Amino acid sequence: MSFTGLRYIALLALVLAAGISHADPNCFGQETDSAAKDKLAQISKSGITFLLEKGISEDGSYSKQLSPAVTALCTRAVLDHGVPATHPQVAKSLKYLEAQIQEDGGIYAPGSNVRNYETSVALMCFNKANVDGKYDQTIQKAIAFLKGIQWDESESYSMENTFYGGQGYGKHKRPDLSNTSFFLDALYDVTKGESAEADEAFKKAAVFVSRAQNMPSPQHNTAKWASVVSKDDFGGFIYTPAGEGETKAGNAPQGGLRSYASMTYAGLKSFLYAGLKKDDLRVRAAMDWISRHYSLAENPGVGQQGLFYYYHVFAKALSIYGEDTITDSDGEKHAWKTELIDRLAELQSDDGSWTNAGADRWYEGDPNLVTAYALLALHYCQPEGE
């Protein structure tokens, strides 16, 4: 057996031996239930008020100098918290986004280099606002557009290519896990997961996502950087497996690529979208990495960078995973919803907005974008049935 094969078995044994412990299906717990819900309602209301009264422009856009995607994220965030599509400010934002619909079915600014990202988040916004079939045609055309720019056989890329199944910023841009997860978010949002296991786009994406995981596997990932993964990075995810691979967390001393949290949670939810079960070794390895690096003080692996993007994917992934309490590697149990509510309450500004004061990389110095991320994360902290 090769060294890579032996390393895979040895590291995998750690995952199987450790397991993942969960407890207390009550997301808040009896004593803190009322207080957590009150705090959730209070900070969400303040954030929504900021967006609708201070963040929005006259034409309904939010920070349009960055991308129409910010408008889509902000609008989806307020819709998720119960503001109706008929609200005057929301209606203006939807009209602004309608002007971004292109003839090819994509929803992006003319000449955009981030067509997948913009189309994916706009699609989710229109899907949430779709009353009486108003956006049915727009949604179906956008899905076709997104599937058309997924790297696959239509671009003469076979499954053996590291680009296969991924999505990049545009058709001719190298794919990455962040863009791929936005694409899968949109596709899952529309299908409600009903066709996930049968849909070819999910199956192709699962190939790409598996190759982004720091776990060597004869079947799923034979990349050189995965073959030298450290125990600390095992099971986590990097930014992209395309080409020689790339991470935003730096290179490991032994020559591997470091895992980091925002991409690990993105990878986890992408696996679940694609129909992988909790007992799949790839899912178990991802959850083991999460238990070993559980934190809301930072985006583990990259510190304060992309912190609110991280909060968004953290909440969404754990909500989809379906466990409200996570046990870390020290045996401490975390009611992640309550903890996230507390963390976001601590970070909220007096005017109701959020901004990443620690690092403005990836536009997290923009209060509209960051407030949208925070509200989207808080949406997944709602108790079941509410």
pLDDT tens figures, 162-212: 999 999 986 557 999 999 999 999 999 999 877 665 689 999 999 999 999
- How much is the CA Rg of the chain, to the nearest whole Å? 20
**CA-based diameter of the chain, in Å?**
65
Mean pLDDT (the chain) is 91
- Strand locations in the chain (E): 325-327, 333-335
**Residue 257 three-state SS:** strand
Distance in angstroms (rounded) separating the CA atoms of residues 63 and 72: 11
Beta carbons of 152 and 201 less than 8 angstroms apart = no
What type of residue is 348? Q
What values do phi and psi take at 246, rounded to 5? -150, 140
The predicted-structure confidence for 336-345, as pLDDT tens digits, reads as follows 999 999 999 9
Question: Which pTM does this prediction carry?
Answer: 0.91
Structure tokens given for 101: 């619909």
Q: Is 39 exposed, middle or buried (0-12, 13-18, 19+ CB in 10 A)?
A: middle
Round to whole Å and give the CA distance between 260 and 309.
13
CB neighbours of residue 123 within 10 Å: 30
Name the amino acid, one letter, at 188: Y
Between CA 243 and CA 365 the distance in angstroms is 31
Task: Give per-residue pLDDT as tens, 279-321.
Answer: 999 999 999 999 999 999 999 999 999 999 999 999 999 999 9
| Six-digit token string for 60 | 């309904």
Q: Which residue has the tokens 């239930």?
A: 33
Q: Could you tell me the sign of the dihedral formed by the alpha carbons of 328, 332, 338, 340, in that order?
A: negative
Averaged pLDDT for residues 109-138: 96
